[in-house]
Structure 1
Amino acid sequence: MAQVSTRGHAGLRSPRRARALAVAGAVAAALAVWAVGEPLLGHDLAVQQKGQEPRDLGAAAIGVFALAPSLLGWALLAALERVTPLAARIWTAIALTLLAASFLPVIGVQASGGTKTVLALTHLAVGAVLIPVFWRTATSRSADPGSKR
């Protein structure tokens, strides 16, 4: 499926606006999963890695852990858009690979099954918001043959 360049469009169709809303939505989705998992269902999101003290992952930690990769994903997509007409495909493959890899620390930490489930769901929530929006808003150099980015 060919991507159509959306550069130059204003308002709600702006890729920048859509991506910013996706980042905010990803953080909100992760915090919503945390709110259901910890305060409502009572899963204490405490994790421990070998040789370290247990850490309680509160709302602030969940928000930061959702925001940072979201912004890095946006930066990667923007960089790819400048160098390849396959930015959407490459970014999506990288994003899906990193989403899958993000479960490794969840599996590797010492925590209850409920805690691991909530953490895994936060990862899925972030990916479920970001990946489709970033893919949809990715521009293609082939759609704009005169572009010399």
Structure 2
Amino acid sequence: MAQVSTGRRAGPRSPGGARALGVAGATGAALAIWAVGEPLLGHDLVVQQEGQQPRDLGAAAIGVFALAPSLLGWALLAALERVTPLAAQIWTAAALALLAVSFLPIISVQASGGSKAVLALTHLAVAAVLIPVFWRTAATRAADSGSRR
């Protein structure tokens, strides 16, 4: 009989451990892109929205803007796993839609082309880490792979 993963085991090989590493990796990837883009290449990540003061997006802002959505994504996946066997598919579609929508502020703010490129790359880096990790660790995906053995 195939063993079904419920996502409740502890340790680095558990879905929760893998997701925690995914969140850390996504945040680290965004910060690495910031470190290359701002300090090394000199693209000051100063953005200005109409009617507001310019804001300099430093490492702290990039870290928070990567960490918070990553944790919210984890919470959404966990909630979906409790209510539907299609959690992985629904979460992935939502994540891809959110990634697309996340580019709207980048397009609409006033910033240099280099700054916009760095910001866009941070969004892509977070998605490139989180989407595969969360897809692989979704309970329905673990159940599917276990039943094929």
Q: TM-score, normalised by structure 2?
A: 0.90
Match of 1:67 in 2: 67
SS at match of 2:16: helix
Cα offset, 1:5, TM superposition: 2.8
SS at match of 1:13: coil
SS at match of 2:104: helix
Match of 1:18 in 2: 18
Give the residue type in structure 1 aligned to 2:121.
L
Asked if residue 108 in structure 1 is aligned to residue 108 in structure 2, the reply is yes
- Asked if the contact 1:47–1:111 (Cα under 8 Å) also holds between the matched residues in 2, the reply is yes
Distance 1:68 1:10, change over 3 A: closer
Cα offset, 1:107, TM superposition: 0.4
- Asked if the contact 2:77–2:88 (Cα under 8 Å) also holds between the matched residues in 1, the reply is yes
The CA RMSD over aligned residues, in Å, is 1.8
Match of 2:147 in 1: none
Cα offset, 1:143, TM superposition: 3.6
Give the residue type in structure 2 aligned to 1:65.
F
Match of 1:86 in 2: 86
Percent of matched pairs sharing the same residue: 82
Distance in 1 between residues matched to 2:42 and 2:70, nearest whole Å: 27
Give the residue type in structure 2 aligned to 1:85.
P
- Asked if the contact 1:85–1:142 (Cα under 8 Å) also holds between the matched residues in 2, the reply is no
Distance 1:62 1:11, change over 3 A: same
Match of 2:34 in 1: 34
Aligned residues between the structures: 141
Q: Structure 2: any 5+ residue segments left out of the alignment?
A: 145-149
Show structure 1 runs of 4+ deviating over 4 A: none
Cα offset, 1:122, TM superposition: 0.2
Match of 1:147 in 2: none
Q: Structure 1: any 5+ residue segments left out of the alignment?
A: 145-149
Distance in 2 between residues matched to 1:141 and 1:47, nearest whole Å: 40
Give the residue type in structure 2 aligned to 1:16.
G
Q: TM-score, normalised by structure 1?
A: 0.90
SS at match of 2:132: helix
